[in-house]
């Protein structure tokens, strides 16, 4: 065994944080990434705390983004998202992370991957990003300062993050069918899932930005505003929800043993006060990597927002005051989030989300590695 290091940024992107690394600072062979990234994040850790690394024991803080200059004509940078398994150190690259995607543009500008003189007008810059996990294009627009570096200070607030920061707009281009090729992989807005225990449950299986299994909180007998700690602390309920997720994955033609996708999301309608006073259209509680999420994964907020506009889906039937709107407001465990979309002739051209990001630290990240690997 030996100790080595690589240069990296440690950043918050939306309601997640993680490492951002230039691809050239990792081995060319992706098969060699797993032990390096696992050790850097502090996994595997049977205690689930990642005390010996940069992670902090929850799925939204055990993330890595690997970025390179793109050879594509329609993108400035390529990036691969890695979800590092907390307890087992696995390297899951099946899905994208919308929250951490908001940090890609600022990172690329700050390290010089994107020449800012070519990309900014006034104090706004835009970076075109190609996500290798989903083979989809995104555009990030954000503030830069007079030195041509990312400007994090501003007055925009997002739910789940204290204080304010500068506004980042993320446009997901042609987001439908990210993994299955269709927004409704089964062709139905609602499917009846038969579970291994013989019971059944209604679910909407929707693939927009990332595939999701959407069910109603009321169909499993829990309140829609349940606290994540209470939800996650109910072992029997979490086991049942994982059974539902895996059954939905099979119906969508996805590998049920992949923990990152599809994710399972519980939906409910807002109270009259939430709908009128806060403008909330729908409530969600999300599960990620078999944990109750403290907010909502950004790509699944986008999926919910788009699903509200697909006739007959559970989101469409549950949302309040959402008919005819280009964007809807989602209430989650840490606040609210607005998701918008552009649809023309029945095709979703883009979906828009709003985030903030901040560089927390940059330097060398140390890891231990078996010299024989």
> 9-13, 143-147, 200-204, 277-281: lowest mean pLDDT where?
143-147
What's the full length of the chain, in residues? 373
Q: DSSP characters for 4-26?
A: EEEEEEEEEETTEEEEEEEGGGS
| Integer Cα distance of 137 and 150 in angstroms | 21
As given in the structure block, the two tokens for residue 196 are 């291994």
Which of 289, 351, 347 has the alpha carbon at shortest distance from 50? 289
> 194-208, 265-279, 331-345: lowest mean pLDDT where?
331-345
As given in the structure block, the two tokens for residue 175 are 């987001």
| Integer Cα distance of 69 and 287 in angstroms | 33
pLDDT single digits (tens) 298-352: 899 999 999 998 999 999 999 999 988 888 999 999 999 999 888 777 678 888 8
End-to-end C-alpha distance for the chain, whole angstroms: 10
Residue 324's pLDDT is 85
Residue 347's pLDDT is 78
Given a cut of 60, whether residue 210 has pLDDT beyond it is yes
User: How open is the CA angle 156-354-132, to the nearest 5 degrees?
Assistant: 140
More confident residue, 98 or 345: 98
| Integer Cα distance of 99 and 104 in angstroms | 10
Residue 65's pLDDT is 98
Contact present, 76 and 39 (Cβ < 8 Å) = no
Task: Report which secondary-structure segment, H or E, holds 341.
Answer: strand 335-344
**Pairing relation of β-strands 16-22 and 347-355?**
unpaired
More confident residue, 37 or 341: 37
For the segment 266-294, the average pLDDT, to the nearest whole number, is 95
Given a cut of 60, whether residue 119 has pLDDT beyond it is no
Q: Which residue has the tokens 């059974």?
A: 243
Residue 258's pLDDT is 94
Question: Would you state the torsion angle of the CA atoms of residues 287, 291, 295, 299, taken in this order, to the nearest 10 degrees?
Answer: -50
Q: Quickly count: other Cβ atoms within 10 Å of residue 56's Cβ.
A: 15
As given in the structure block, the two tokens for residue 60 are 């939204």
Global pTM value: 0.84
Residue 298's pLDDT is 87
| Integer Cα distance of 10 and 42 in angstroms | 14
Task: Report which secondary-structure segment, H or E, holds 238.
Answer: helix 235-251
Q: Helix, strand or coil for residue 367?
A: strand
Q: Which residue has the tokens 């499917």?
A: 191
- Give the model's confidence band at 261: pLDDT under 50 very low, under 70 low, under 90 confident, else very high: very high
Which runs of consecutive H residues, i.e. helices, occur in 25-166?
33-41, 98-101, 104-110, 116-119
Contact present, 305 and 355 (Cβ < 8 Å) = no
- Give the model's confidence band at 117: pLDDT under 50 very low, under 70 low, under 90 confident, else very high: low
Cis ω for the linkage preceding 186 (within 30 of 0): no
Domains located in the chain, CATH noted:
2-167+357-369 (3.10.310.10), 191-340 (3.10.310.10)
| Integer Cα distance of 114 and 76 in angstroms | 7
Q: Helix, strand or coil for residue 46?
A: coil
| Integer Cα distance of 34 and 233 in angstroms | 30
């Amino acid at each position: 065994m030996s100790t080595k290091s690589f240069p990296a940024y440690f950043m918050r992107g939306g309601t997640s944080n993680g490492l951002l690394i230039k691809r050239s600072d990792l081995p060319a062979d992706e098969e060699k990434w797993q032990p390096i990234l696992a050790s850097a994040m502090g996994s595997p850790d049977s205690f689930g705390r990642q005390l010996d690394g940069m992670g902090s024991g929850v799925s939204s803080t055990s993330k890595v983004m690997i970025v390179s200059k793109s050879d594509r004509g329609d993108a400035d940078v390529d990036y691969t998202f890695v979800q590092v398994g907390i307890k087992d150190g696995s390297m899951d690259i099946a899905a994208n992370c919308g929250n951490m995607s908001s940090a890609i543009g600022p990172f690329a500008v700050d390290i010089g991957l994107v020449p800012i003189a070519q990309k900014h007008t006034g104090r706004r810059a835009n970076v075109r990003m190609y996500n290798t996990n989903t083979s989809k294009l995104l555009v990030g627009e954000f503030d830069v300062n007079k030195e041509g570096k990312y400007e994090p200070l501003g007055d925009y607030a997002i739910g789940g993050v204290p204080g304010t920061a500068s506004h980042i707009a993320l446009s997901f281009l042609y987001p439908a069918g990210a993994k299955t090729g269709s927004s409704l992989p089964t062709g139905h807005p609602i499917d009846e899932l038969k579970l291994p225990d013989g019971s059944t449950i209604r679910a909407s299986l929707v693939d927009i930005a990332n595939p999701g299994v959407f069910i109603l909180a009321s169909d499993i007998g829990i309140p829609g505003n349940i606290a994540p700690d209470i939800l996650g602390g109910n072992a029997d309920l979490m086991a049942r929800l994982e059974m539902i997720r895996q059954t939905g994955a099979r119906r969508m033609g996805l590998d049920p043993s992949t923990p990152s996708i599809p994710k399972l999301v519980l939906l409910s309608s807002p109270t009259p006060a939430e709908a009128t006073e806060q403008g909330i259209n729908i409530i969600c509680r999300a599960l990620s990597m078999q944990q109750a999420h403290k907010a909502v994964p950004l790509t699944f907020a986008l999926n919910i927002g788009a699903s509200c506009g697909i006739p007959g889906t559970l989101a469409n039937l549950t949302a309040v005051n959402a008919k005819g709107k280009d964007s809807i407001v989602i209430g989650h465990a840490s606040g609210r989030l607005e998701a918008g979309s552009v649809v023309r002739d029945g095709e979703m051209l883009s979906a828009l989300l709003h985030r903030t990001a901040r560089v927390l630290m940059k330097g060398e990240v140390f890891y231990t590695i078996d010299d024989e690997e």
